[in-house]
Every structure is written in structure tokens, then in C-alpha cells.
């Protein structure tokens, strides 16, 4: 028998096949969906983290009023004698600015506020920051339309892409329009670039006002001269780790704490890379293990259904032998059919996976489909089909024709 005829045979016999072949196909579909979705999302997450890190170079760092090491190891320090949370003040900003190698500092306060535009009211996070945040993190907070506010301006706002374009129903808050924050009028002067669906997506909803406006907005939530975070630009030619040490010593002495008991953290690109990297690799190892187990279990299920399917068709094997088919002809027929089942499962699974990823992407889940995955999926699914079909097909093909014919 020719290979093309065995394909014809397989297609004909799949036309009227029982539930079992479709269950086999379903098994492959589920395996493929699990693998493609999990891997694409893992790759998507690491890509968007890498992208974000690339905008956060080694010449940038920021300070937050919490000891992250302690918070992460003691479950946010609840019930602990030493709470890892502290506060940063204007005095700390001045100290940081005096550390050699620190080129620029920018202060940020943030909190919730009520934002109103064209009759729609939203309770959201508003950032009150020095205009220098747009230069220090210029790669990230890129102004697309309009401009950043200046040092001396008040009652102006720079909007993230979504904050301008999709938060207000069909209305858009374009440059020049006016919105109310906690009842006061603010004029839109700039709209930022769309940050896409990656890790940074939530910053598309960011709303920035000048530092002094923020101070006023969050007066009730902040201590006198408190600053929620400090952004730092480092001069070239300095070792970021030395600068970090210098900053830590200064603030620790301001806060009268030892470095072990510090109530703040200086976050550098290295720190993020290490922390995020270790979380991501743990995550992808876990997901890989789950997928591997699922695939093995699925593979056993597929072999089993394939085996049953071949058993059910032993009489057909007997008929084929009675009309002159050799063992090889029969193996070719069954292997082609198994491969076809695998291929159908692979195609359906891949299509389903792409659909799932696309829908998940609409909700901001980052994903990355690689071409080599398409190849892998088809090799995998055809391989599973053939592997699962091979042993039963070979055994069945070797039966005495009369035994196969008598099989019911």
C-alpha cells in the first residue's frame, strides 16, 4: 500500500469513527493547550519583565519606606515586634541628594482620590510627583501628546494612556480638557504613551499631578514633610552599589536605626532583576512540573484509548489480511491513522491555545507565542499519536488472520 493511500484510508475511517477517537483527540488537545498556554504566558511574563527592566537601567534607583527583605521573609511583618514599615521625609530627600554620585532626586506621594470627568466619577490612585520623574524614568513614562508639567505649575495633570482614552466611557480626556480631582479643577497638559499589555499595563491608568498638589490632596493621609517614595538618577562613573550603601547609611542614621533594622529599602535594577528572576524561575519550574505531569497522565490516557481503538478493530485487521494486506500494510494504515489523530489534536489544540491566549491577553495577561512552539506542538502531537498507536498496531498486525477475523 502507498503512503498516500494510507492517508485516504485513515481519513475515510475517521469519518465514521466512534467517540473514542474523538476522546483521544481531546486528550491531545488538552495536552497541547496546557503546554502552549503555560509556556506562552511564562515567556510573555518574562519578556515584559525584561522589557520593563530595560527601561529601569543601573543608573536609576528608588527608595520605598518598607524593609522589603523583612516584609518578604516575615509575611509583611504582621505580629512581629519590628514592623518593617517606616516613613520617608523631606530630610531624607536632602540627605540622599548630598550622597556623592546622586545626580537627581524626585519625590512622589500617592494615595487614592476621587477623579471626575464629564460627569463620570472614579476613585483611583493619583501620584503627586516632581516633574523630574518624567526625565529620570523618561523611557518608561513617555509623554506622547502634550508635555510634562513644569516645576512651578499647579493644578495640571499628566494622564496615562488608559486614563485619557478609556476610563471615561466614550469620552476622551484629551490635552486641554479639564477634570476634577477631589473637587478641584485640573487641566490636562500631557498624555503618555500606551505601555501595552505587559507587566506595566496598570501604569496606563496612572494620573500624575505636581508634587505640591499631591501634598495637598493627601494632606490627611501624610505626616508633615512625608514623602512616599524617592526616585534617584545616578551620575555616570559611579558604582551603583556604593551609592546605595551611602544612601542607606544616611537614611538609617536619620531614622536612628541600624542597617539590619532599617525601615526602608533602596531598590536598584540588580535587586529587581534578582528578585523577579528568582520568582519567575520558581514559577516556570512549577508550571513545567505541572505540565510534565499533565502530559504524562494525558499520554497514558491516549495510549489506553488508542489501544482500545485498535482492539475494537481487530476484525478489520482480519478482513484486510483476507484480501491480501501484509503486516506492513496494516501497520502503515494504523500508524498513519494515529499520526492523523495526533495532527488533528495538535491543530485543534494549538488553535484553542491561541484563542485562549488572545482572550486572556484582552485582560492584560502577557503572552508570547514562538514559531518554534508551532513546530514543537506538531512534532509532539504526531509523536504522541504514533507512539500510542504503534505498539497496539504492531501487535494486532501480527495476529493470525483467522484469529483476527474471529475477533468480536
Residue placing its CB nearer to other proteins in the complex, 136 or 335? 335
Min CB(393)–other proteins separation in Å: 16
DSSP state of 180: E
Min CB(340)–other proteins separation in Å: 14
Rounded CA-CA distance 183/279 in Å is 42
Query: Stretches 13-21, 159-167, 172-180, 209-217: which one binds other proteins (CB under 8 A)?
Result: 13-21
Residue placing its CB nearer to other proteins in the complex, 8 or 94? 8
Residue placing its CB nearer to other proteins in the complex, 41 or 306? 306
Q: Which three cell numbers mark 360? A: 486572556
Is 40 within 8 Å of 368 (Cβ atoms)? yes
Query: Stretches 4-12, 78-86, 98-106, 340-348: which one binds other proteins (CB under 8 A)?
Result: 4-12
- Of 85, 229, 209, give the one whose Cα is nearest residue 156: 209
Using CB under 8 A as the binding criterion, the count of chain residues that bind other proteins stands at 28
Among 127, 316, 334, 389, binds other proteins (CB under 8 A): 316
Residue placing its CB nearer to other proteins in the complex, 16 or 220? 16
DSSP state of 85: B
Is 13 within 8 Å of 340 (Cβ atoms)? no
What burial letters (b/e) apply to 57-90, b meaning 16+ CB within 10 Å? eebbbbbbbbbeebbeeeeebeeeeebbebbbbe
Is 306 within 8 Å of 338 (Cβ atoms)? yes
Q: Does 20 bind other proteins (CB under 8 A)?
A: no
Q: Tell me the three state secondary structure of residue 394.
A: helix
Question: What backbone phi and psi angles, to 5 degrees, belong to 161?
Answer: -60, -50
* Burial (CB count within 10 angstroms: exposed 0-12, middle 13-18, buried 19+), residue 314: buried
Q: Does 8 bind other proteins (CB under 8 A)?
A: yes
Residue placing its CB nearer to other proteins in the complex, 210 or 318? 318
Min CB(165)–other proteins separation in Å: 56
Min CB(333)–other proteins separation in Å: 9
Residue placing its CB nearer to other proteins in the complex, 198 or 389? 389
Among 38, 320, 341, 365, binds other proteins (CB under 8 A): 320
Among 343, 369, 374, 405, binds other proteins (CB under 8 A): 405
Q: Does 312 bind other proteins (CB under 8 A)?
A: no
Q: Does 396 bind other proteins (CB under 8 A)?
A: no
Rounded CA-CA distance 97/233 in Å is 10
Among 76, 315, 375, 391, binds other proteins (CB under 8 A): 315
Rounded CA-CA distance 277/52 in Å is 13
Min CB(388)–other proteins separation in Å: 20
Residue placing its CB nearer to other proteins in the complex, 239 or 400? 400
Residue placing its CB nearer to other proteins in the complex, 17 or 172? 17
Among 239, 242, 285, 400, binds other proteins (CB under 8 A): 400
Q: Which residue has the cell 513614562?
A: 141
Min CB(345)–other proteins separation in Å: 20
Rounded CA-CA distance 261/277 in Å is 26
Q: Which residue has the cell 497638559?
A: 189
Rounded CA-CA distance 284/282 in Å is 6
Q: Does 319 bind other proteins (CB under 8 A)?
A: yes
Rounded CA-CA distance 90/234 in Å is 19
* Burial (CB count within 10 angstroms: exposed 0-12, middle 13-18, buried 19+), residue 142: middle
Per-residue contact flags (x/-) with other proteins for residues 321 to 350, judged by CB under 8 A: xxxxxxxxx---------------------
Name the site residues for other proteins (rule: CB under 8 A): 1-2, 5, 8-9, 12-13, 15-17, 315-316, 318-329, 400-402, 405
Amino acid at each position: 500500500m502507498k503512503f498516500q493511500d494510507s492517508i485516504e484510508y485513515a481519513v475515510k475511517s475517521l469519518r465514521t469513527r466512534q467517540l473514542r477517537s474523538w476522546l483521544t483527540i481531546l486528550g491531545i488537545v488538552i495536552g497541547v493547550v496546557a503546554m502552549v498556554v503555560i509556556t506562552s504566558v511564562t515567556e510573555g511574563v518574562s519578556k515584559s519583565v525584561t522589557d520593563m527592566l530595560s527601561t529601569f537601567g543601573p543608573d536609576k534607583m528608588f527608595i520605598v519606606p518598607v524593609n522589603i527583605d523583612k516584609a518578604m521573609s516575615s509575611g509583611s511583618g504582621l505580629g512581629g515586634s519590628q514592623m518593617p514599615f517606616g516613613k520617608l521625609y523631606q530630610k531624607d530627600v536632602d540627605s540622599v541628594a548630598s550622597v556623592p554620585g546622586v545626580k537627581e532626586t524626585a519625590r512622589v506621594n500617592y494615595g487614592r482620590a476621587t477623579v471626575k470627568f464629564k460627569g463620570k466619577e472614579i476613585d483611583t490612585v493619583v501620584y503627586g510627583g516632581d516633574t523630574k520623574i518624567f526625565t529620570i524614568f523618561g523611557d518608561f513614562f513617555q509623554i506622547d501628546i502634550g508635555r510634562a508639567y513644569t516645576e512651578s505649575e499647579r493644578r495640571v495633570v499628566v494622564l496615562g494612556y488608559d486614563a485619557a482614552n478609556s476610563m471615561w466611557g466614550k469620552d476622551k480626556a484629551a490635552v486641554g480638557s479639564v477634570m476634577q480631582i477631589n473637587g478641584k479643577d485640573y487641566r490636562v497638559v500631557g498624555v503618555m504613551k500606551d505601555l501595552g499589555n505587559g507587566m506595566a499595563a496598570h501604569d496606563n491608568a496612572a494620573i500624575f499631578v505636581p508634587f505640591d498638589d499631591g501634598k495637598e490632596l493627601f494632606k490627611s493621609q501624610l505626616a508633615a514633610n512625608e514623602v512616599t517614595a524617592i526616585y534617584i538618577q545616578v551620575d555616570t562613573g559611579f558604582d551603583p552599589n556604593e551609592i546605595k550603601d551611602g544612601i542607606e547609611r544616611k537614611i538609617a542614621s536619620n531614622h536612628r536605626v541600624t542597617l539590619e533594622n532599617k525601615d526602608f529599602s533602596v531598590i536598584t535594577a540588580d535587586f529587581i532583576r534578582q528578585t523577579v528572576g528568582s520568582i519567575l524561575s520558581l514559577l516556570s519550574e512549577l508550571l513545567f512540573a505541572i505540565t510534565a505531569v499533565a502530559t504524562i497522565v494525558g499520554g497514558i490516557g491516549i495510549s489506553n484509548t488508542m489501544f482500545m481503538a485498535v482492539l475494537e478493530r481487530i476484525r478489520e485487521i482480519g478482513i484486510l489480511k483476507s484480501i491480501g494486506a501484509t503486516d506492513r500494510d496494516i501497520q502503515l494504515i494504523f500508524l498513519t491513522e494515529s499520526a492523523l489523530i495526533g495532527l488533528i489534536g495538535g491543530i485543534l489544540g494549538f488553535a484553542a491555545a491561541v484563542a485562549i491566549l488572545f482572550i486572556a491577553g484582552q485582560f492584560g495577561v502577557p503572552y508570547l507565542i514562538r514559531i518554534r512552539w508551532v513546530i514543537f506542538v506538531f512534532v509532539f502531537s504526531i509523536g504522541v499519536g504514533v507512539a500510542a498507536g504503534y505498539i497496539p498496531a504492531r501487535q494486532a498486525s501480527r495476529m493470525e488472520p483467522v484469529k483476527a477475523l474471529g475477533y468480536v
